[in-house]
Amino acid sequence: MKALKFTEINQERQEEYLALLAQTPQISSDYSFVNIWSWAEEYDLTWAWLDGLVWLRQARPFPAYWAPVGNWHGADWLSRLKNVAEQLPFMRVPEVLADLWMAQADDLMSAEDAREHWEYIYDVKKLVDLSGNKLHRKKNLLSQFKKRNVWHYQPIDKHFIDQVLLMQLDWCNWRNCEASAGLAAEDRVIQKVLRSYASLPNLRGGSLVVNEFDMVAFTVAEVLEPDTLVIHFEKGMGGYKGVYQAINQMFLADNQGFALVNREQDLGNEGLRDAKMSYQPLTFLKKYRFNWR
């Protein structure tokens, strides 16, 4: 195999990348174009194109590969992995590829579960209807938001971006993003995505406005597969009880052409894990870490 030459992730090859992503047997939210492009500077993430696959490499917070993107079933993995120059760990490897590697290259690498990177997959209809005892509290919080506020739901398009950016600024001032490396990085990423909203064709967004003019919540999602949306960002202002339940339910109600919604991983944060579990996921997209033997 030729040497991998890693270069900057750019929008010029967006369509080529999406074509290869569509051939990938199991599509994780990590590998959506918006995700790898928007977080590239934060992870120092680069890509290398070789023989029908896109390889990804991060330099921060430590050097590692991500899973290659493309037709996994058409690759001789034992040969390809033997020729990888740097024996760095592989992160965020989806279950289908992990099974292939364990079958074909078990002598080279060992796998371990990466529970913090499992992605939460939900039934859109269930999150719109919020029926049943397990989702009763969510439905009650949604009702409280509706009763206490004069509100309307507004889809996000390129003409609405300045208002979303202003709300993100207000949200960051409220949460003191500058004091948190994680929130500051996320803020940079959100601004990057919003400022390029018109040139990222698979984006969908929605917002909640109260008292005619005050935006109090927004969500930004991407079409991951023909039947699946992935939620990248979801923000709600303080002082509006039920605002997160409201933006989640109303955005999905406005996008019922999709059967599933991927709400990404919890990164090992127990509070975030509890919140994601409380919405009763339909299933998980499991991922693994591979280390060289």
pLDDT tens, per residue, the chain with 293 residues? 678 999 999 999 999 999 999 999 999 999 999 999 999 999 999 999 999 999 999 999 999 999 999 999 989 999 999 989 899 999 999 999 999 999 999 999 999 999 999 999 999 999 999 999 999 999 999 999 999 999 999 999 989 999 999 999 999 999 999 999 999 999 999 999 999 999 999 999 999 999 999 999 999 999 999 999 999 999 999 999 999 999 999 999 999 999 999 999 999 999 999 999 999 999 999 999 999 99
The structure tokens 């309307």 sit at 152
Host domain of residue 101: 7-118
In a domain, 277, yes or no: no
* 3-state secondary structure at position 190: helix
In a domain, 111, yes or no: yes
Same domain, 27 and 145: no
Same domain, 111 and 148: no
Same domain, 149 and 260: yes
In a domain, 151, yes or no: yes
Task: Report the number of distinct structural domains present in the chain.
Answer: 2
Per-residue b or e along 165-175, where b marks 16 or more CB atoms closer than 10 Å to that residue's CB = bebbeebbeee
Same domain, 44 and 100: yes
In a domain, 1, yes or no: no
Same domain, 59 and 103: yes
In a domain, 256, yes or no: yes
Per-residue b or e along 2-36, where b marks 16 or more CB atoms closer than 10 Å to that residue's CB = eebeeeebeeebbeebeebbeebebbbbbbbbbbb
Same domain, 185 and 154: yes
Same domain, 69 and 127: no
Q: pTM for this structure?
A: 0.96
